Structure 1
Amino acid sequence: MINPVWLRSFCTLVEVGHFTRTAERLHMTQSGVSQHVRKLEQHLERSLLIRQGKRFTLTDAGSRLYREASAIVESLSDLERRIGADPLHDGVVRIMSPGSVGLKLYPHLLELQRRHPKLVMDYRFAPNADVERAIADYRVDVGIMTSPSSLDEVGIKPVGEEPLLLVTPKNMSEPRWEQLMELGFVDHPDGAHHAGLLLGANYPEFHHSNQFPLAGFSNQISLILQPVSMGLGFTVLPAYAVEAFPARELVQTHRLSKPASETLLLCFRRNQPVANRVRTVIEAMREGLGLGAGDSH
């Protein structure tokens, strides 16, 4: 295989037409340029130049090589520029978070993409364990979790709090324990955890969400409140999920006397440089959560 550095020296020499000026342009010595040309000739077993002091003319083989090689050298130079570039608004950014905060952030990030169409959002909803694993395995650029990471590879930084809300059918104004027991619990993947945080702080009778009759289950964040809106049960959800429900007028949210919330944790691959496009998205995520600008890690 031909050494591309030799090709670059040869093509530059042909374009400049002078060994000394070629050496200056490439920040080399004149003997270095001559050596690259000789190595090319030895490799190809063809004379490429007819030397005339510090000037030269091309042989037929030299002319053919220049026609073919100039496009290759330009392509390699363009590749170097593209790889070395670190644009703010160009490229795919892979994001993963639990569904509730995702419902809040995804429309905000799509607006960012609308302004910068080359900045493409790849947004996945997933539970904390999947977010953590995806960050560790380099499958995601940045994520949001609501629990600390157990993996050394994953760094975290608090970026906000999301309140938990008790949500009942519209006709329930002050939810008593007996009413909740009669209604039953609409469960979801984080249902036991959320109920434990909020109901455990406000109802002495509460021990576990299994105490309630099961009124339904959904793993789709946008559908969990559907049965609640139909009077079929109650649930506990983060505030962003409640805000995103299109029929909010059919449910009643309750902020109990002892509030409970989840800490939102920005998560990233520890000790990995952050690309500028990812920094752009992180700042947009902070804005979407109502926070000011901050460092990206």
Structure 2
Amino acid sequence: MDQRLLTSFIVLAEELHFIRAAERLRITQSALSQQISKLEQELDVQLFDRTRRRVSLTDAGNSLLEEGSIALKQLTLAVDMAKRAAQGHVGRLTIGFADAAALNVLPTLTSEFARRYPGVNLILHEMISAEQVEALRAGRIQIGLLRPVFDDGDFETSLLHREPYVVAIAAAHRLAAVKTIRLADLAQEGLITTRRVKARYVEGNFQPHFKKAGVQIKVVQEVNELHAILGLVAGGLGIALFPRSIMKLQLEGVVYKPLTPDQSPMAEMLIAKRSDDRTATTMRFMELAKRFYPSVR
């Protein structure tokens, strides 16, 4: 059924007056009469009883008014939702993020995006960076907040955040009172780190610096959770290397010390999407991220 004809019928059914209905529709009375006649012919029913003095609905007209009004509202809503989805105002967006992102870029981006686009359902999955790369390729996530652990021309990326590393040590540690730590100071220390697949980025960052300093550090524990690592550090079982934003997590018995600037690599956080993903919600999130973090692009 033609939406225009249904709209004209509903307006006339509400007004029961051709002149007033035509004025509401901003068409001529003759055009309205033609539309109603066309609708009645299509449906093969009489919708109105017309006399010189009055217009009234038939039983068929009353039935169509009740059901047609509901249908028209649903159609209008569906069209509006489709337009809003095309503009990125409604829908869903699945985001993968490295745990470190929760300490820097993730809270700002998700809260601001949710404020601007409340109709978009954000679905968040914590993943190591390598898992995000595979999930992006497979289409399981649309956005990745991850470390630069890949070289793939299929992705569009932007650098959002860069920060130096700090050393997490026990409050009773011999180095707890110093202002900055040199890598040589860590020569006899045991390192607590994440499991190997997750630790590759940090290892790759520090390897040339340890080599230059002539230090071979020994890994004494491998765990995955940040709080677990910090708990082991607090217990004096070793030291840990983290990007500076870890300092937002304060745990009794743990202190953070910066490395000397010339011996600290920089930890980078990227945003990535598939190059062929041009959906509105994905593009709007990318645009928001670049707008909030323009200085490190």
Q: Structure 2 length as normaliser, TM-score?
A: 0.70
User: 1:175-217, CA deviations, whole angstroms, 9 ceiling, x for partnerless residues?
Assistant: 665854552443344323313312422434779xxx7544222
**Does structure 2 retain, via aligned residues, the 8 Å contact 1:22–1:33?**
no
**Does structure 1 retain, via aligned residues, the 8 Å contact 2:158–2:270?**
yes
Query: CA–CA distance in 2 between the matches of 1:281 and 1:229?
Result: 41
**Does structure 2 retain, via aligned residues, the 8 Å contact 1:19–1:30?**
no
User: 1:239-281, CA deviations, whole angstroms, 9 ceiling, x for partnerless residues?
Assistant: 22x2133227523434143321133222234351444995499
Query: CA–CA distance in 2 between the matches of 1:258 and 1:48?
Result: 85
Q: State yes or no: 1:186 paired with 2:193.
A: yes
Counterpart amino acid of residue 203 in structure 2: A
Corresponding position of 1:272: 278
Corresponding position of 1:219: 224
Deviation at 1:32, TM superposition (A): 8.8
**Does structure 2 retain, via aligned residues, the 8 Å contact 1:183–1:232?**
yes
Query: CA–CA distance in 1 between the matches of 2:66 and 2:45?
Result: 16
Deviation at 1:7, TM superposition (A): 2.6
Aligned residue for 2:221, secondary structure, equals: strand
Aligned length: 284
Query: CA–CA distance in 1 between the matches of 2:70 and 2:163?
Result: 55
**Does structure 1 retain, via aligned residues, the 8 Å contact 2:169–2:256?**
yes
Runs of at least 5 residues in structure 2 that lack an aligned partner in the other structure? 176-180
Counterpart amino acid of residue 253 in structure 1: K
Counterpart amino acid of residue 84 in structure 1: K
Q: State yes or no: 1:229 paired with 2:229.
A: no
Corresponding position of 2:96: 96
Runs of at least 5 residues in structure 1 that lack an aligned partner in the other structure? none
User: 1:3-44, CA deviations, whole angstroms, 9 ceiling, x for partnerless residues?
Assistant: 55543342234345438964983779966973575355444x
Query: CA–CA distance in 2 between the matches of 1:293 and 1:176?
Result: 29
Corresponding position of 2:263: 258
Equivalent positions of 1:129-208 (< 5 A) are 129-147=130-148, 150-170=151-171, 171-173=173-175, 174=181, 180-188=187-195, 189-204=197-212
Q: Cα distance 1:202–1:276, how it changes in 2: closer, same or farther (>3 A)?
A: closer
Q: Cα distance 1:154–1:277, how it changes in 2: closer, same or farther (>3 A)?
A: closer
Corresponding position of 1:282: 288
Aligned residue for 2:148, secondary structure, equals: coil
**Does structure 1 retain, via aligned residues, the 8 Å contact 2:97–2:128?**
yes
Corresponding position of 2:6: 7
Query: CA–CA distance in 2 between the matches of 1:203 and 1:161?
Result: 23
Aligned residue for 1:224, secondary structure, equals: helix
Query: CA–CA distance in 2 between the matches of 1:80 and 1:221?
Result: 46
Query: CA–CA distance in 2 between the matches of 1:149 and 1:10?
Result: 60
What is the Cα-based RMSD across aligned positions, in Å? Answer: 4.5
Aligned residue for 2:228, secondary structure, equals: coil
Query: CA–CA distance in 2 between the matches of 1:135 and 1:22?
Result: 54
Q: Cα distance 1:254–1:293, how it changes in 2: closer, same or farther (>3 A)?
A: closer
Deviation at 1:233, TM superposition (A): 1.7
Is the deviation greater in 115-124 or in 64-73?
A: 115-124
Q: Cα distance 1:220–1:185, how it changes in 2: closer, same or farther (>3 A)?
A: closer
Is the deviation greater in 190-199 or in 117-126?
A: 117-126
**Does structure 1 retain, via aligned residues, the 8 Å contact 2:93–2:281?**
no
Query: CA–CA distance in 2 between the matches of 1:84 and 1:33?
Result: 32
Q: Cα distance 1:260–1:139, how it changes in 2: closer, same or farther (>3 A)?
A: same
User: 1:98-118, CA deviations, whole angstroms, 9 ceiling, x for partnerless residues?
Assistant: 111212345546765997895
